[in-house]
Amino acid sequence: MSEKLHTWLAAPQADAPCTVIAEVAQAHDGSLGTAHAYIDAAARAGADAIKFQTHIASAESTPHEPWRVKFSAQDETRYDYWQRMEFTPDQWAGLKRHADDAGVMFLSSAFSLEAVELLKTVGVAGWKVASGEITNIEMLSAMAATGQPVLVSTGMSDFAEIGIAVDAVRQHDAPLCVFQCTTQYPSPPEAIGLNVLGELRERFGCAVGLSDHSGTIFPGLAAATLGVEAIEVHIALSRDAFGPDVVASLTPSELAQLVSGVRFMETMNAHPADKTSVPASVLENRKIFLKSVVASGDLAAGTVLKRRHLAAKKPGTGVPAGKLADFIGRTLARDVSRDQLLQFEDLKA
């Protein structure tokens, strides 16, 4: 599976499929069984990848780390929470095997060098760098040194800071994808910043993606029309699930909608319309929906046609309605009946 991600990001192609990543983050709330359930949910929804976060509390934090949102009644400190979110190496390996069996790529954001080493042993399809780790150049370099794709979120950085991270990754020639990201949970529409995608691609000459925290499918669909290489969204098994990210997440059914929509957008973009001629696929429909010139009543031969003698009616198998004016002032060569489709052969020369 890692080769698939590597190929997509190493040489982005206009017609390459977009990688849809289902971000679990801490939605499992420390339950290994729930973490496995998320893999199945993401696979059923059609996601290409499942992404976790690998936290080792003693390696990434201190007991003094403040809460972003104090949501957990059972964890006195943020440090306690990170400890509760830890899985053992064997448990991480089991999640990786499950993802492989389910046909989704396994990703996890590392938050320390120790987590990088752990994930090296487990095996990941690529490295996802959280917005808060973009200045951790030593860790980015360790990831890039593996040669695997590096996916960098930029929710808290400007172009200058992003450029430093990009340079660190490129020193190791690792495939790179830079994500527009808004670190708000949920992100309001005025904060999504799809306009940044084109500038990221132009500035850094790499694949681009959208890491969306809106809790809706709309930004992802819009990004797909712009040809991004990857879309990442949080997933929650239910709107009633526990955790601070639920309001910024998609449910499995919404994720399935997003995936279906992205594939629809890709097919649509791969088949541009050609208005220089009428497509063969609609020729039969023209006969049904367009109108022809017809007689508005029974008319005798020798009638000099006036506008009141003529009408435009379906089907469109006769002289097109746009030529109705060509009949006015002409003389009928034969009797015609009401609603008869008129032909130029019905007129005197």
Contact 169, 150 (CB under 8 A): yes
Contact 223, 231 (CB under 8 A): yes
In this structure, the strands spanning 310-313 and 292-295 are antiparallel
Residues 186-242 have pLDDT tens digits of 999 999 999 999 999 999 999 999 999 999 999 999 999 999 999 999 999 999 998
256 φ/ψ angles, rounded to the nearest 5 degrees: -60, -40
CA separation, residue 118 to residues 87, 97, 112, 153, 215 (Å): 11, 15, 10, 21, 31
User: For residue 104, which of 125, 130, 128, 119 has the smallest C-alpha distance?
Assistant: 125
137 φ/ψ angles, rounded to the nearest 5 degrees: -65, -35
Q: Quote the tokens at residue 260.
A: 């279906």
Q: Name the amino acid, one letter, at 105.
A: M
CA separation, residue 306 to residues 186, 292, 328 (Å): 66, 16, 5
Q: In residues, how long is the chain?
A: 349
Averaged pLDDT for residues 163-170: 98
Residues 327-337 have pLDDT tens digits of 999 999 999 99
Cβ burial 20-55 (10 Å sphere, 16+ → b, else e):
bbbbbbbbbebeeeebbebbbbbbebbbbbbbbbbb
pLDDT score at 8 = 52
Whether 110 shows a pLDDT value over 90: the answer reads yes
Q: From CA 137, how far away is CA 94, in angstroms rounded? A: 29
pTM to 2 decimal places: 0.87
CA separation, residue 92 to residues 98, 101, 106, 107, 143 (Å): 10, 14, 10, 11, 18
Whether 4 shows a pLDDT value over 90: the answer reads no
Q: Could you tell me the domains of the chain?
A: 2-269 (3.20.20.70), 280-346 (3.90.1210.10)
Within 13 A of 103's CA, how many CA atoms are on the CB side? 6
Q: From CA 131, how far away is CA 181, in angstroms rounded? A: 8
Q: From CA 317, how far away is CA 339, in angstroms rounded? A: 13
Residues 71-80 have pLDDT tens digits of 888 888 989 9
250 φ/ψ angles, rounded to the nearest 5 degrees: -100, 145
Bridge partners, 109 (sequence order): 53, 128
Residues 34-55 have pLDDT tens digits of 999 999 999 999 999 999 999 9
Measured torsion, CA atoms of residues 97, 100, 101, 103, in degrees rounded to the nearest 10: 160
pLDDT score at 244 = 86
**Cα Rg of the chain, angstroms:** 30
Burial of 303 (0-12, 13-18, 19+ CB in 10 A): middle
Residue position matching structure tokens 């949501």: 71
